[in-house]
Structure 1
Amino acid sequence: MRRIPLIPTLVVGMAVAAMIALGLWQLLDRLPAKEAHIARLAKNPSLPAVAFPRFPDDSLLFRRTSAFCLEPVDIRRAGAGSAGYRLIATCRTGAEGPGFQVQLGTTRDPLGKVDWRGGKVSGWIGHAPDSRPLIATLFDRRPQDMLLIADTPAAGLTANTPPNVAAVPNNHLAYAVQWFLFAGIAAIIYAIALRRRAR
């Protein structure tokens, strides 16, 4: 029987150990943290309203909020799944400050427009559409911008669907299982290769 090759075995062993470690990290760290975050978010709709945040803060998602749009500087469309398109206004709040975005409502018309001049808006805090590719978010750790989802639609638009905590993804258990499967498959393939080599 041939001697087991040292370097390939070390490389495969380290790769398998790294995949197991990643699976344990997803299972023991990321999953409980995400479950705790979702539990906090589930309570937010029943908490008192807050001023719309000036900067991203995911702990405020689904909280009731309000803001005053001094002037909409842009109104754009974004996909809304089965609801068609969301019309999102970028608002100026004064000479200073970052402004904010408000989802005015939805429409099924791909060319739909709305005549909205601003004013006080109330609703819920959500995430603004993120144009970054999914792979880019792995390296670009900037927080996603916040969005005020209006509880009363602008004239001619359909009302927004209230935010639902059930829509918050929690895939960490699936990620953990995937890493464990990758580790198991790598170990099995290498064991088969060693057996064939021995023959």
Structure 2
Amino acid sequence: MKFPAVATIIVGAAIALMIGLGIWQLQRKGEKEALLAQYAAAADLPPVSWQATLPPGDPMLYRRSSVNCISVTDWQTISGRSAQGEAGFMQIAECRTGGAEGPGAAVAVGWTARPDHPQWTGGVVDGMIAPFGDRIKLVSDGAIPGTKTLARPSPKDIPNNHLSYAIQWFLFALIAAVIFVLAVRRKQRDAKPHEGAAR
């Protein structure tokens, strides 16, 4: 079976790219596992000072910290679970802070069954640093009046899908190779009767 040169080069390049992406995902898997292990050990490390500008990928995630909420400037309500596993709402106070703590802080102060905001005007909150979109938040160890304690943040909540992505890319490469070989074989098989008729 002869393979057409141009088509083979194009398909071969595509397959090589897919394999390369699969290998890259395997490398990312190792990096993610190392980071998650670092996060898992963070809870046992000494507390750190709060920094509102801390990026979500910073190793200080899942470290213990505290925030002095001078006043509440706004509220956010998102889905969340209580420490008992109840589904409901996480109440997040947007706090005004001062000094070394930076310009402000998002503080998850408790869990509620309904989305109504609790009546809380501020105070010192101890808790754990956790991701919050492209920001971070402090998840309180306890609960303010009118709420229940939130489920403790865990690095296990961070997805690590790189292995499945790698397998997908390798499968795409295999499927592309099989389809190309079958297409070339069929084309050459279909061409044989015409060659015989021409004789």
TM-score (norm: length of structure 2): 0.85
State the identity %: 42
**Superposition pairs of residues 54-73 of structure 1, within 5 angstroms:** 54-57=52-55, 58-73=58-73
The structural deviation recorded for 1:191 is 1.0
The SS at the match of 1:186 is helix
Match of 2:117 among 97, 113, 119: 113
Q: Distance in 1 between matches of 2:142 and 2:79?
A: 19
Q: Distance in 1 between matches of 2:69 and 2:109?
A: 12
The structural deviation recorded for 1:95 is 8.6
Q: Distance in 1 between matches of 2:63 and 2:113?
A: 27
Q: Which one is further off, 93-102 or 154-163? A: 93-102
- Which consecutive unaligned segments of at least 5 residues does structure 1 have? 131-143
Aligned CA-pair RMSD: 1.8
Equivalent pairs, count: 182
CA contact (8 A) 1:62 1:124 kept: yes
- Which consecutive unaligned segments of at least 5 residues does structure 2 have? 190-199
Larger radius of gyration: 2
**Superposition pairs of residues 33-182 of structure 1, within 5 angstroms:** 33-57=31-55, 58-80=58-80, 83-94=87-98, 97-110=102-115, 112-128=116-132, 130=133, 144-182=134-172
TM-score (norm: length of structure 1): 0.85
One-letter identity of the residue aligned with 2:124? K
Q: Which one is further off, 48-57 or 68-77? A: 48-57
Match of 1:187 among 167, 171, 177: 177
